Amino acid sequence: MTASTPRQSPYQSLLPFGEGDADFFFGRDNEIRVVIANLFASPLTIVYGPSGVGKSSLLHAGVVPELRRLGKAVVAPYSQWHAEPALALRARVAQAAGVGSAQEAGRQTLSEFCEGICDRAGRPLMLLLDQFEEYFVYTEPFSGFDEELGALLGARDLPLSILVSIREDSIAKLDRFEGRVPHLFDNYLRIEHLDEPGATAAIEDPLPRYVSLTGQAVTIEPALVDAVLPQVQFGAVVLGEIGKGIVAKEESSHQRYEAAYLQLVMSRLWEEERKAGSRVLRRQTLDQLGGAKYAVRTHLDRMMQELEPADQDQAAELFHYLVTPSGTKIAHRVQDLAAYTGLPMDQVATLLAKLSEPRFRILRPVGSSNAQPGMARYEAYHDILAKAILEWRSRHEVSKVSLSEDQLRRREDFQVQLAELLKLTESSLEEDRVRAARLLSMCSLPPRCAPASSGQGRAVIDGDSPTSFRWDSSSWVECSARLRDRCRWPVCLP
């Protein structure tokens, strides 16, 4: 959301919270305080947690706005690892400080550049390196920039505090910097899923804020809050694995709740109530949707069903390269995806752009919006969508296999039926010919294969409109041969 775009919902769906959404970001007050305290106390802090836990939202909508309000440091969040980070990171720091530029760096190392920015700004620098797992996807180990960043992470004599935010399953990759970064793992924070007070705040508190900004009176039934919470508990919904739904939950006095699923469910409820003209979020609506599990598991399906079958097939091919088998999203250029899939680049570009539209939000463009044709990069819109994409693609491939088996069976049936029909049409017995004519007149063929009658009873196989055959004896052999060659669908004999 931007300041110039009127907010349509108090909930975020799968859209990551940014600085402009800080007014609607609730449930993480304690985490915000702890992260900020560590930034002021330590030169290096590692923040980690599972995929989809909300690390980026915590930083951009919680930590960054509060640091800016305090005004004690230059705050520079950065996450565009697919770009040219050696230049882009410098540009981000210079922009945040309001002094200097990346081009002024010359032959300065990254550490020297950051030190110069701090001197000119007259304040320390807080550098928040988000989605750091993607750094290892796009950066070669011990490359020039890798060496510079390692030196920056290990710097202890600069007015600098660095936060590295990384997915839990990638934290071991930080070993690349061991030996270059003293006490690499001395200060780390694990971000958990929402606790119950936080999840309750994330459901209830955005509504009064929305009302105050829009003047539209909207309320929520307490019964809905009580119904949603157990359905978005951690582990209550498995998305991205075929054949799994509700899983057994451990009894615990410290239940956790998945922020991304919560936002998705509440956004779906909001949409349904708005369609119905209701100004109350109701428990009844959740029940009518089939509960939170249905809302989550059908989110991607609803969007993909809007595509034509051919586009679905092409999307499945593209998804193969945009999400790894373990569920990690990867950004690729349009021209690379076209090369991988063998699809025309203009078709790939059109489909990627469509899947990135606001009504779809399956993919998103990353990097410059002014990229040359074929050079724009796209990635999965959200981590939990990456998992859902894996599931959808698996089910789509299974459905294609099933359809192919059905078509093969129908083709085999057709061959048997056609053989019987041809025996009748090629028979010299008048009674067989009469029976064949009757059978052919009862056949229902699709338009592209259907015969059209013409002339004095001669059967014409090439016509476009379905009609009945009318025969004369001179057309038997010709029609039987052409029927064998032209028709690819079962002929239904009584």
Q: 420-470 pLDDT, tens per residue? A: 666 666 666 767 766 766 665 554 433 333 333 333 333 333 333 333 333
Residue where the block lists tokens 């760096």: 105
Burial class from Cβ neighbours inside 10 Å (0-12, 13-18, 19+) for residue 482 reads middle
Mean pLDDT over 407-422 rounds to 63
Kindly report the CA angle at 228 between 222 and 230, in degrees rounded to 5?
115
Provide the greatest CA pair distance for the chain: 105
- Check residues 299 and 395 and name the one with the higher pLDDT: 395
How many secondary structure helices (H) and strands (E) does the chain include?
Answer: 20, 12
Residue 406 has pLDDT above 70, yes or no: no
pLDDT of residue 164: 96
pLDDT at 223 over 80: yes
Contacts of 264 (CB under 8 A, 6+ apart): 13, 14, 295, 296, 299
Q: Give pLDDT, residue 461.
A: 34
Of residues 367 and 455, more confidently modeled: 367
Kindly report the average pLDDT of the chain as a whole number.
79
* Banded model confidence at residue 74, pLDDT cuts 50, 70, 90: very high
Q: What integer pLDDT is reported at residue 76 of this predicted model?
A: 96
pLDDT at residue 375 tops 70 = yes
Q: Which residue has the tokens 């390692």?
A: 150
| pLDDT reading at 185 higher than 80 | yes
Q: Are strands 280-281 and 219-220 parallel, antiparallel or unpaired?
A: parallel
- The two tokens of residue 241 are 């694995």
CA distance 113 to 107: 9
412 pLDDT higher than 80 = no
pLDDT at 77 over 60: yes
The angle at the Cα of 20, spanning 55 to 72, to the nearest 5 degrees, equals 75
